Structure 1
């Protein structure tokens, strides 16, 4: 039986390999180096050459050494320079310049006329000459086809060059071709010229052996590839701990740009670091400049991106750092190349860069998966493109084109800085119910809708039905709200609208309009009576419309009209409450507050089909300032459905107002108080009409708009509607020129007289200050002394009256701050209060 023998392996080589360590391994490596033998041959060859051969060899070696040194110190595509990109990138930059020249020549050729000159026909007239290629030159898609073919040819040529460069030439990532200093090149290339020259020196045999060994060592060293020119940096090897330590050392130190700040949710991958900046002081996280982070992390400034998403508080911000961002000398005008290297949105593309009269514009294509159009912010774009100037982000204006494309306009000069003069023709209402109140940033008219028409239902005269459109606007004092309101007052008078206005500034805001409005009041009490008169007129109109006939879409006559037809027989009415939040917040316990809120909410909910619209102006950029009861909630809802104008405010978060579905898709840049040329920005605002995208616009301006409006008739209510509106409207001429205090006293006396008339159903106006729940049945005025209200009841009533912070609640209730804090927490736990950011609001009644 044959036995199987295991094959024996020769372990001699393995033992030898294992023993080659230290000096032996180095010697073995030198023996395998061709440079060792080439250097030894160069050192020993001069001893064997004749004088002529030695002279030629010396001169030749010297020339090669000089050329080698020159190539090492001069820029060019034959080597790689740290800080200037790889040779392929060097060629691409030159190729892009050549491509731009090609495009210019191609556009010039496309613009040229290629038709032949006309010839003289048999009848003596000039006749067009038709050539063989006229059909091609007149082709409607010729420019697009030429561009496509040119781009394809260029793309194929670049791909061919890229492939040849990668396959035929050495590895350009190593330090073989990095830039050397003159001293380094003299030490590297100098022996090539000096070694052959030793043949002219008379030396003993052992000296030639020394020269040969030196030459062999030099050859082996030069032949060995040096270390790569782009080794991994210290921070890449250190990982997250290195970045955290650098953050503490450079950013979060006592004298740093953001002291005591922290980095949270740090994520580090191959080429990007993402984290969340947490500011533990009063400074917002976005106040940190990208230059500070670039110094701390040793990256270019444009590789740093700091932004705050909409759902983040001001104390936090997102940080993105491109770690392997190339530091090549990019062409700043080549925005696509800059964006490709430093884009904060991976996979996005910048294209279609065009110069405009006011700057430049371009488009950004976002990837199918990843960041959406609502996440793009001007600050991120300005940081990625390293735009100069402190207000670089404010110069960028974003406009959505579709679900993935955004148009960005970089306007160094704001086209609205020169102002917009008043144009009466633009204030004429069109068939869609719009008037033009100014011009937007892109040169388009800024539209404001007064009526919304529906041609499917018509009056007996053929006029289309319409519903009134409510409006809302906010802005600080001096922002230009009055300019837009005066434009609208002219438009309303021109188009036959009845205008009522309640001035929260006591008449100072619209003093020139005292005789040019149908009804103007200056007191808060008058604003309440104006809202109640509007309710009464709308109810009267509904009652009369129920007895009217109308025409449907097919021409049939129907009875009982439930919609409004302008001037059949009623004129549209617009009621404006200016400084509405002042009417509510100045004294939340005043007798006019609750009735005013109820009347305005009733106008908003019930009067659109009666042709009556509400327009509310506030200063605080938050609709929560008008209260938190049911009436205030209804006002907020109805103001979100119409025209919205956001003027300059004292706060930067103009876009995070309580606008519900009308919240802007993009974070709006705060409007400046002055333009870069020093001119005022009065009348500059963001406008939205049926859209979630807000556009910067400017209202038309005239030095005396009240005088302009006098050329048109002053519309007013019919006698029957005036009776319904009440005594405050009928006797408006008696107090038109009184100040706010005298007007309020006059109206209170008129109200008492109306209540005292016999055979008249009294109108109940709740003027009693609310101390407890509105539906509490309390008749004894001394009951509070016998059974004082609880601490929770006091706190809840204070919040319901408009107090928002614990300090304000303590001042109103005269409770200690610690007791107020405990009561608010207890009420929040039971669902009676809820907190929006740092403000308290009532959720439901305390006894519910």
Structure 2
């Protein structure tokens, strides 16, 4: 990287005037309107007298002082178009340095010292030795240059600390008003009449006015920075170090790598060496540093680039503001195009703003690379939250539609309509509206008319669902809409509330089964498995009709209401049930039961729906059951609400990871209202659309209009035979109104009594040989031989802890011990680090670690 030196600003070339003398040259100089205007104004000074002369003198003196501040160089140079405020300081220092260097060279040439042997003198002392030093000129120049750089850096830093936000719109040309200010000292000339000068004084005033007017008329406007062509790579590196990577800059200690500059464009990669994201650099900051218009700068991060890096592109050959129609989006896009070869077309005004389409090139950037941030930067959209106003929708492989919505159509909310909750022939219901005014569809069942029941109804398979969002984002609103829809369409609804019942307090009497404890959530999953197994056993005895109408025996698919009703089991705050105490006895049975529901219950008409806080499926654990849950949830409905984290676009959704980058959802709409219920809804492919869930103040009351459905007595009996979870379902009315702690105590006591009763008068025959004593895994031995730090850390990561702080909280170890253990496990290949988060890579063998 080039050293951070002060780049000497380029000064415009002086006007090339004819230097020949003679009559033709004199006549050419007379073709100057400023000369006649200045001479006329000077002549008017002899005609004024009295009060008009006094008022003219006072007004023109103020105007002259106003213009003098912008005309003369100095630290007061503040008018737009004058350049950087510290440029004069550097310029004066450069003059001083050049004068010192010239004096030094002259003295060095005059002082022709020979060697002591040539002169016959015996040289004694440091001074004489220094004067005869061979490298003296180079050393003097180096020391002087270092002093010059240090002095200029000190002055520049002092000025930047005084006015850090100076320099808005410095690149534009002078306006007619500014030119009038520059020539306003001519207005001082009438004051000469107030003084009462003799005839030669009046003649001198006329000559001064003519000369000043001619000079101002020939003075060019502020030069366009890019008229002289792009600077070298070293200049841009130095400017980046001075303006961006400095100690108090927007991204300290950052670097520019892979820098490439040509006549049209600069491309580079921003590397952040601190905790700040590379995207924290603002567009205006880079435009000021590189002396280009803001829309010529594009800063974005491709999907395959980590958070500490970002792509920077700068258009160096751009039209000036006067030559470009700001309202013509196609012309602006062609000038500041961030995607080479793309075309903007079909721009039109809509009810909520503007809309246009982008045609991507056949060879080059694809629609998957298009992001809202570069588009907003290239079009120079106004407002701090311009990116949030852009909504992208892919039309085909080369076309993408961009909608700029100055007023969000979803900010007024979406009322809940019962007619929208009626399931159509494809199994969809409408749970709200998307940003384009289309219905937001949610699928409850997937029908297949090729296989039917004896009544003629098509076969159906249930659809799993997954959603994430922080507290207050609106997950409960969508879940309540789904509960109303399920009750209206004849579904059986079971729900496990991870908030201890506070999330669905109004639904206590309006659901077939509602549990409020993690222990109850485990039993609910086990009971759902028992119900699905019973349904499979019964469906094997039924007949069905194929596509051609033939009757077949042994049905392997689900048909609604023949004889069972569709069923949905919901686990809200699922990650809290798993991560609150990863070593709790209910965690592994809960994960196993949920994974079994996901893998085996779709053809039995039973679906699972999971809500979590963090938009990352890794938060539910990393064992085999958790992996099965992740695979299950990638094939159904996905809703992503607002989260506290900004990395929504890198969530771990496997095959359903968004193909197009998602912008974080805001906390408030432009009108100030909250964005509760706003979420990204997956359309079944790789595109996610901003939608808003329908809202009603009392959805439980609306659900009471429809009958409450429960599993049949045969299903409940089968669940009881399969395990104690069925008994917890049958006695649900006894603990329906208890809180989470009392419910867990009731269920624990119930299962303990059931275990004692079922164990009486039962002979147990152990047909499996006893394992060797060395292989016995006895928890009582942990006090005698405690687990090592590495084992504690590995099991904490396996339980869902991802950062060192979370691991330290889960293991009660200090942060240095956790850091050493994770580093050791990474060297052994037991842990791997992804996006600053730890994940288990291989199972941990006890003999593989000892620390």
Instruction: Indicate if the aligned counterparts of 2:497 and 2:571 stay in contact, CA closer than 8 A.
Output: yes
Residue 842 of structure 1 is matched in structure 2 by 840
Query: Which of 287, 300, 304 in structure 1 is aligned with 2:297?
Result: 304
Residue 596 of structure 1 is matched in structure 2 by 590
Residue 749 of structure 1 is matched in structure 2 by 749
Per the alignment, do residues 780 and 644 of structure 1 end up closer, same or farther by CA in structure 2, a change over 3 Å counting? closer
Instruction: Indicate if the aligned counterparts of 2:268 and 2:311 stay in contact, CA closer than 8 A.
Output: yes
Residue 243 of structure 1 is matched in structure 2 by 236
Query: Secondary structure at the residue paired with 2:694?
Result: strand
The reply on whether 1:322 has 2:322 as its aligned counterpart is no
Instruction: Indicate if the aligned counterparts of 2:422 and 2:485 stay in contact, CA closer than 8 A.
Output: yes
Which residues in structure 2 correspond to 1:63-212 (within 5 Å)? none
Q: Bigger CA drift: 796-805 or 483-492?
A: 796-805
> How large is the Cα RMSD of the aligned pairs?
3.2
Per the alignment, do residues 781 and 440 of structure 1 end up closer, same or farther by CA in structure 2, a change over 3 Å counting? closer
Query: Secondary structure at the residue paired with 1:343?
Result: coil
Per the alignment, do residues 561 and 348 of structure 1 end up closer, same or farther by CA in structure 2, a change over 3 Å counting? same
Alpha-carbon distance, 1:689 to partner: 3.4
Unaligned runs of 5+ in 2: 1-16, 38-80, 82-178, 184-219, 720-725, 765-772, 847-851
Separation of aligned partners in 2, 1:230 and 1:744: 75
Residue 673 of structure 1 is matched in structure 2 by 667
Which residues in structure 2 correspond to 1:101-500 (within 5 Å)? 236-237=230-231, 239-329=232-322, 330-500=324-494
Instruction: Indicate if the aligned counterparts of 2:467 and 2:641 stay in contact, CA closer than 8 A.
Output: yes
Per the alignment, do residues 267 and 761 of structure 1 end up closer, same or farther by CA in structure 2, a change over 3 Å counting? farther
1:269-314 CA-to-partner distances (Å, cap 9, x unmatched) read 2211111112222222211111111111111110011111122222
1:178-202 CA-to-partner distances (Å, cap 9, x unmatched) read xxx99x99xxxxxxxxxxxxxxxxx
Alpha-carbon distance, 1:343 to partner: 1.1
1:702-721 CA-to-partner distances (Å, cap 9, x unmatched) read 11110111110111111101
Alpha-carbon distance, 1:456 to partner: 0.6
Separation of aligned partners in 1, 2:558 and 2:450: 13
Instruction: Indicate if the aligned counterparts of 1:449 and 1:689 stay in contact, CA closer than 8 A.
Output: no
Separation of aligned partners in 2, 1:42 and 1:816: 90
Separation of aligned partners in 1, 2:761 and 2:685: 46
Alpha-carbon distance, 1:688 to partner: 0.7
Residue 62 of structure 2 is matched in structure 1 by none
Instruction: Indicate if the aligned counterparts of 2:434 and 2:440 stay in contact, CA closer than 8 A.
Output: yes
The reply on whether 1:583 has 2:577 as its aligned counterpart is yes
Separation of aligned partners in 1, 2:438 and 2:225: 54
1:544-577 CA-to-partner distances (Å, cap 9, x unmatched) read 1111111111111111111111110000000000
Alpha-carbon distance, 1:759 to partner: 8.0
Alpha-carbon distance, 1:603 to partner: 0.4
1:711-764 CA-to-partner distances (Å, cap 9, x unmatched) read 1011111110111231111111111111111111111122123223348999x9
Instruction: Indicate if the aligned counterparts of 2:333 and 2:343 stay in contact, CA closer than 8 A.
Output: yes
Query: Secondary structure at the residue paired with 1:283?
Result: coil
Instruction: Indicate if the aligned counterparts of 2:18 and 2:25 stay in contact, CA closer than 8 A.
Output: no
Query: Secondary structure at the residue paired with 1:420?
Result: coil
Query: Secondary structure at the residue paired with 1:745?
Result: helix
Unaligned runs of 5+ in 1: 1-32, 45-57, 71-82, 84-180, 186-225, 765-774
Separation of aligned partners in 2, 1:601 and 1:62: 91
Query: Secondary structure at the residue paired with 2:750?
Result: helix
Instruction: Indicate if the aligned counterparts of 2:457 and 2:559 stay in contact, CA closer than 8 A.
Output: yes
Residue 521 of structure 1 is matched in structure 2 by 515
Separation of aligned partners in 2, 1:568 and 1:69: 102
Separation of aligned partners in 1, 2:487 and 2:683: 22
Instruction: Indicate if the aligned counterparts of 1:642 and 1:689 stay in contact, CA closer than 8 A.
Output: no
Instruction: Indicate if the aligned counterparts of 2:265 and 2:317 stay in contact, CA closer than 8 A.
Output: yes
> Taking structure 1 as the reference length, what is the TM-score of the superposition?
0.71
Instruction: Indicate if the aligned counterparts of 2:229 and 2:263 stay in contact, CA closer than 8 A.
Output: no
Query: Secondary structure at the residue paired with 1:305?
Result: strand
Per the alignment, do residues 234 and 338 of structure 1 end up closer, same or farther by CA in structure 2, a change over 3 Å counting? closer
Residue 151 of structure 1 is matched in structure 2 by none
Per the alignment, do residues 343 and 521 of structure 1 end up closer, same or farther by CA in structure 2, a change over 3 Å counting? same
Per the alignment, do residues 379 and 822 of structure 1 end up closer, same or farther by CA in structure 2, a change over 3 Å counting? same
1:630-673 CA-to-partner distances (Å, cap 9, x unmatched) read 11111111111100001111111122211112111222121111
Per the alignment, do residues 230 and 600 of structure 1 end up closer, same or farther by CA in structure 2, a change over 3 Å counting? closer
Query: Secondary structure at the residue paired with 1:472?
Result: strand
Instruction: Indicate if the aligned counterparts of 2:226 and 2:316 stay in contact, CA closer than 8 A.
Output: no
Separation of aligned partners in 1, 2:809 and 2:336: 53
1:380-426 CA-to-partner distances (Å, cap 9, x unmatched) read 00000000000001000000011111100000000011111111011
The reply on whether 1:800 has 2:798 as its aligned counterpart is yes
Alpha-carbon distance, 1:621 to partner: 1.5
Alpha-carbon distance, 1:35 to partner: 11
Alpha-carbon distance, 1:255 to partner: 2.1
Per the alignment, do residues 452 and 287 of structure 1 end up closer, same or farther by CA in structure 2, a change over 3 Å counting? same
Per the alignment, do residues 761 and 377 of structure 1 end up closer, same or farther by CA in structure 2, a change over 3 Å counting? farther
Residue 728 of structure 1 is matched in structure 2 by 728
Instruction: Indicate if the aligned counterparts of 1:533 and 1:724 stay in contact, CA closer than 8 A.
Output: no
Query: Which of 506, 510, 520 in structure 2 is aligned with 1:512?
Result: 506
Separation of aligned partners in 1, 2:533 and 2:718: 9
Aligned length: 640
Alpha-carbon distance, 1:485 to partner: 0.5
Query: Which of 653, 659, 680 in structure 1 is aligned with 2:647?
Result: 653
Instruction: Indicate if the aligned counterparts of 1:382 and 1:392 stay in contact, CA closer than 8 A.
Output: yes
Query: Secondary structure at the residue paired with 1:430?
Result: coil
Per the alignment, do residues 66 and 493 of structure 1 end up closer, same or farther by CA in structure 2, a change over 3 Å counting? same
Alpha-carbon distance, 1:815 to partner: 4.4
Residue 740 of structure 2 is matched in structure 1 by 740
Query: Secondary structure at the residue paired with 1:756?
Result: helix
Separation of aligned partners in 2, 1:741 and 1:65: 94
Per the alignment, do residues 68 and 455 of structure 1 end up closer, same or farther by CA in structure 2, a change over 3 Å counting? farther
Per the alignment, do residues 782 and 434 of structure 1 end up closer, same or farther by CA in structure 2, a change over 3 Å counting? closer
Per the alignment, do residues 41 and 796 of structure 1 end up closer, same or farther by CA in structure 2, a change over 3 Å counting? closer
Per the alignment, do residues 240 and 459 of structure 1 end up closer, same or farther by CA in structure 2, a change over 3 Å counting? same
Alpha-carbon distance, 1:445 to partner: 0.5
Per the alignment, do residues 65 and 744 of structure 1 end up closer, same or farther by CA in structure 2, a change over 3 Å counting? closer
1:794-843 CA-to-partner distances (Å, cap 9, x unmatched) read 33222222332334334444445444333323322333222222222222
Which residues in structure 2 correspond to 1:557-576 (within 5 Å)? 557-576=551-570
Q: Bigger CA drift: 363-372 or 466-475?
A: 363-372
> Taking structure 2 as the reference length, what is the TM-score of the superposition?
0.71
The reply on whether 1:605 has 2:599 as its aligned counterpart is yes
Separation of aligned partners in 2, 1:419 and 1:260: 45
Query: Secondary structure at the residue paired with 1:720?
Result: helix
Instruction: Indicate if the aligned counterparts of 2:802 and 2:837 stay in contact, CA closer than 8 A.
Output: yes
Instruction: Indicate if the aligned counterparts of 2:258 and 2:268 stay in contact, CA closer than 8 A.
Output: yes
1:563-615 CA-to-partner distances (Å, cap 9, x unmatched) read 11111000000000001011011111111111000000110011000000000
Instruction: Indicate if the aligned counterparts of 2:595 and 2:625 stay in contact, CA closer than 8 A.
Output: yes
